[in-house]
């Protein structure tokens, strides 16, 4: 049987965002494989049976110089897969700056690699409570909707706080290209689509599909790109429609590692502690300095927790009040070291315990942590409708210890208070 034509390829600027795209496609029946690194020749063969292919990355936490060195090769690989669209995926909160995670620089490089004079940009995703109106970004939080520069979390992000809601102004600080709202004029520069309801989402998807194949294959934005395409493709042969997933059976124990300072994750940690999880705080600065004893101590504590019949939750922070921002910034590579260290801790826990389900909390943490596991790709095990953007994934690995694990990568501000508990206790 010939391989299916590729609808879309994408690069996610962090790992949690990459699984967000995979979920958006999977719930519409589009089989998606997400690589955790550029695949070997043997690993690349696994993509043949998938309609969409992603590559999870770390550009959200990197400099423009890093992007200049790495993104051209990544775009070239994605381009070689010959999909109808190629998507540079950013967080739906658009947090970025000229110095860190520059979306403008990533778009500039993509425009050059794809020889495009115009780049569509879709950020709004009502399914995630993200809305763009008159070029401004709004996001839901705790039952309310906030302009992103007044958002209780994103306006205080520890690395890239959002201080401007008008994405034309915000992005204009990162690129020399013009940033305009989509209209009836011939597109040029970066073209931002307002998406704030089903009708505007469908209109954005219809616009993309109206283009001749190959005309503007490179698109930037959040998973709003996929939601717009799926809305416009409803009922077509390209989208099978809704698909079913096997219920998630309860397990007696799971393992969690968390590097998030979000108040959302703080509530989730507290809830887990009240419902059978052992909360294992770790010396954050020691982990940032890559001191080996701190990793061994955390693994030993987690194994003791498992031996006592409980679930370990290893965390470097418990909310914004425990954010060691200044001290961390004084340690070269400190934030990356935290993610890597949490990955080593999780790897050792899984290897020594035989657990088959785990959770990593924190966008940057997930990006660096998963690289410590012997996993080359992920696919969707189960979307989580009550926590969109953080599906439970199935791992792909040549190593039996890491093959077909169930793992969730959760952004800091994603999920209900009972997120960890529900992933242990099962979902029907």
Boundaries of every domain in the chain: 8-232, 255-425
Q: Name the band, by pLDDT with cuts 50, 70 and 90, for residue 309.
A: very high
Q: Name the band, by pLDDT with cuts 50, 70 and 90, for residue 428.
A: low
273: three-class secondary structure by DSSP: helix
CATH number of 8-232: 3.40.50.10840
Query: Which fold, 255-425?
Result: Molybdenum Cofactor Biosythetic Enzyme; Chain A (3.40.980)
Q: What is the model's pTM?
A: 0.94
pLDDT over 60 (residue 1): no
Which is it for the CA torsion 193, 243, 252, 271, positive or negative? positive
CA distance 33 to 380: 8
pLDDT (tens digit, 9 = 90+) per residue, 113-137? 999 999 999 999 999 999 999 999 9
What stretches of 259-306 adopt beta strand conformation (E)?
A: 277-281
* Buried b / exposed e along 230-241 (16+ C-beta atoms within 10 A): bbbbeeeebbee
CB 189 within 8 A of CB 108: no
Q: Report the pLDDT value the prediction gives residue 2, as an integer from 0 to 100.
A: 56
């Amino acid at each position: 049987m010939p391989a299916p034509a590729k609808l879309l390829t994408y690069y996610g600027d962090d790992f949690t965002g990459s699984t967000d795209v995979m979920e958006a496609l999977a719930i519409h029946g589009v089989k998606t494989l997400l690589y955790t690194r550029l695949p070997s020749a043997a690993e690349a063969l696994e993509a043949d049976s998938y309609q969409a292919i992603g590559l999870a990355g770390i550009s959200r936490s990197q400099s423009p110089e890093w992007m200049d060195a790495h993104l051209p090769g990544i775009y070239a690989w994605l381009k070689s897969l010959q999909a109808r669209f190629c998507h540079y995926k950013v967080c739906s909160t658009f947090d970025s700056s000229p110095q860190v995670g520059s979306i403008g620089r990533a778009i500039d490089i993509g425009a050059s690699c794809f020889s495009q004079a115009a780049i569509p940009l879709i950020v709004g995703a009502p399914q995630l409570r993200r809305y763009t109106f008159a070029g401004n970004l709004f996001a839901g939080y705790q039952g309310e909707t906030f302009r992103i520069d007044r958002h209780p979390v994103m306006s205080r992000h520890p690395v890239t706080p959002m201080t401007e809601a008008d994405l034309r102004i915000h992005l204009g600080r990162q690129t020399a290209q013009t940033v305009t709202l989509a209209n009836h004029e011939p597109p040029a520069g970066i073209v931002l689509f307002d998406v704030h309801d089903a009708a505007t989402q469908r209109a954005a998807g219809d616009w993309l599909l109206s283009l001749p194949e190959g005309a503007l294959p490179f698109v930037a934005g959040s998973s709003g790109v996929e939601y717009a395409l799926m809305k416009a493709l409803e009922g077509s042969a390209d989208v099978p429609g809704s698909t079913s997933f096997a219920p998630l059976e309860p397990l007696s124990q799971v393992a969690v590692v968390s590097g998030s300072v979000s108040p959302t994750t703080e509530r989730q940690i507290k809830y887990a502690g009240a419902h059978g999880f052992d909360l294992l705080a770790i010396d954050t600065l020691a982990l940032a300095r890559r001191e080996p004893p701190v990793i061994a101590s955390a693994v030993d504590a987690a194994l003791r927790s498992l031996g006592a019949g409980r679930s370990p939750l290893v965390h470097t922070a418990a909310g914004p009040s425990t954010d060691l921002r200044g001290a961390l910034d004084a340690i070269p590579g400190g934030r990356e070291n935290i993610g890597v260290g949490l990955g080593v801790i999780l790897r050792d826990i899984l290897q020594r315990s035989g657990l088959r389900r785990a959770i990593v909390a924190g966008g940057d943490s997930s990006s660096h942590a998963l690289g410590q596991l012997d996993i080359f790709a992920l696919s969707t095990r189960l979307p989580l409708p009550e926590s969109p953007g953080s599906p439970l994934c199935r791992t792909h690995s040549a190593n039996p210890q890491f093959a077909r694990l169930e793992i969730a990568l959760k952004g800091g501000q994603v999920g209900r208070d009972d997120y960890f508990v529900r992933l242990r206790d099962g979902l029907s």
